[in-house]
């Protein structure tokens, strides 16, 4: 799951993009080290709206991070089965 941490809003109005992983009830949260404006965030899609270069790059980073997490989860699951 990806979301904006609106409680850490910066003076520019931008908020950090965060990730949350839950496995068997254990939660881990992390920052993507990226920021965006809350008006540009689609919470249902968990992506940035718009089509400029920065927004496309942020969406690509979110997708790559999500895929890496899924790959690691599958590897760990296969290893322990």
Total domains, the chain: 1
pLDDT score recorded for residue 35? 97
pLDDT score recorded for residue 79? 87
Residue 47 lies in domain: 2-80
Is the entire prediction scored with pTM above 0.85?
Answer: yes
- pLDDT in single tens digits along all 81 residues of the chain: 999 999 999 999 999 999 999 988 999 999 999 999 999 999 999 999 988 999 999 999 999 999 999 999 999 888 887
Give one DSSP letter per residue of 23-59, joined into a string: ETTEEEEEEEEEEE-GGGEETTTTEE-S-SHHHHHHH
The burial of 3, by beta-carbon neighbours within 10 Å (0-12 exposed, 13-18 middle, 19 or more buried), is given as middle
pLDDT score recorded for residue 77? 86
The burial of 17, by beta-carbon neighbours within 10 Å (0-12 exposed, 13-18 middle, 19 or more buried), is given as buried
Would you say how long the chain is, in residues?
A: 81
């Amino acid at each position: 799951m990806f979301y904006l941490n609106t409680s850490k809003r910066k003076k520019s109005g931008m908020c950090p993009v965060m990730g949350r992983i839950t496995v068997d009830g254990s939660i881990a949260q992390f920052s993507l080290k990226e920021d965006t404006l809350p008006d540009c965030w689609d919470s249902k899609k968990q992506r940035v709206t718009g089509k400029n270069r920065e927004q496309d790059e942020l969406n690509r980073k979110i997708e790559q991070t999500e895929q890496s997490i899924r790959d690691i989860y599958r590897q760990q699951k296969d290893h322990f089965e």
